[in-house]
Amino acid sequence: MVGIAGLPVVDHHCHLSPTGEGTRAAVRFRDAGGTHLFLATQNYEGKVPVDLDAYRRQFETTERLAREVHEASGVVVYVVVAPYPVDLVGAAPGLGVDGALELQTKALDLAGRWVRERRAVALGEVGWPHFPVPPEIGEAAHRAFRHALEVARDVGCPAVVHSPDLDAEGWRRLDEEAKTVGLPPHRVVKHYARARLDPALGVGVVPSYVARRELVRVVVADPGPWFLETDYLDDPARPGAVLDLATVPRRAAAIARGSPSGAERLAVPFVRSVEQVYGLTPELEER
């Protein structure tokens, strides 16, 4: 594992699928200089889970993919599990809103157990739908999210948030929400951040930026913590829907080449932020 500029290279949020490119995408990531992936679970069965067993199978698939990726590529994989918040919308017609909320709650408890057992490093994705929903669904989603923050607090892990784009008020509200629950805001990561979080806002919640070239240029000198991600979906039906898994290493290489302080800057998303938020130190493994 070579990394870039002597540093590990971390994609903070991606998905892989047993029916997609899977380990081949991870090999491409490694060949570009990537060393560590945060692998978020996803629904692999083509339908919304309607019982806890479906979530258990889903998490186990993610765990198996993580192992396969490490064996095939040497890339270190951190597993992130939770019931997808949008599942609530799909489960409500069959289970009722209360039943769908109960399932989310139980699946969040299951995810918390996985973190305790060190089968996962964080809860994710948790949050609320990125599109308008009926008020009763919105309310249930908010209660599920509150529960997710409580579980993260109790097991002592980060919560990786799926939500619409946040404006200054949205960032502040999320920060407040974490504090209300007693979860330190730096343990809450807003994934798929598409605009810079102004450090002057004084918000402790952490952005995980989509690694688009222009955005990386704007945030690269920020003190952190912040992350880079592709949110790679590994869905053969939607090629190019998101950034390719090789993107973060490519951006890192450009930053390292671009300025004498490049390596120092890369240490923020790839080492220090992982330490601050997750309490983990990504290292370049001997292979």
Distances (CA, A) of 162 to 1, 40, 129, 215: 31, 11, 7, 19
Q: Which amino acid is at 25?
A: A
∠ Cα 119 125 126 (to 5°): 110
Q: What is the DSSP letter of 32?
A: T
Of the pair 160, 256, the CB lying nearest Zn ion is at 160
Please report how close the Cβ of residue 82 comes to Zn ion at its closest, in angstroms.
Answer: 11
Site for Zn ion in 196-235 (CB under 5 A): 231
Q: Residue 210: beta bridge partners?
A: 229
Please report how close the Cβ of residue 58 comes to Zn ion at its closest, in angstroms.
Answer: 14
Please report how close the Cβ of residue 163 comes to Zn ion at its closest, in angstroms.
Answer: 12
Q: Are strands 76-81 and 188-193 parallel, antiparallel or unpaired?
A: unpaired
Of the pair 67, 130, the CB lying nearest Zn ion is at 130
Residue sitting closest to Zn ion (CB): 231
Q: Residue 111: beta bridge partners?
A: none
Of the pair 177, 231, the CB lying nearest Zn ion is at 231
Please report how close the Cβ of residue 124 comes to Zn ion at its closest, in angstroms.
Answer: 8
Of the pair 226, 255, the CB lying nearest Zn ion is at 226
- Contact predicate 271/282, CB 8 Å: yes
Which positions touch Zn ion (CB under 5 A)? Answer: 231
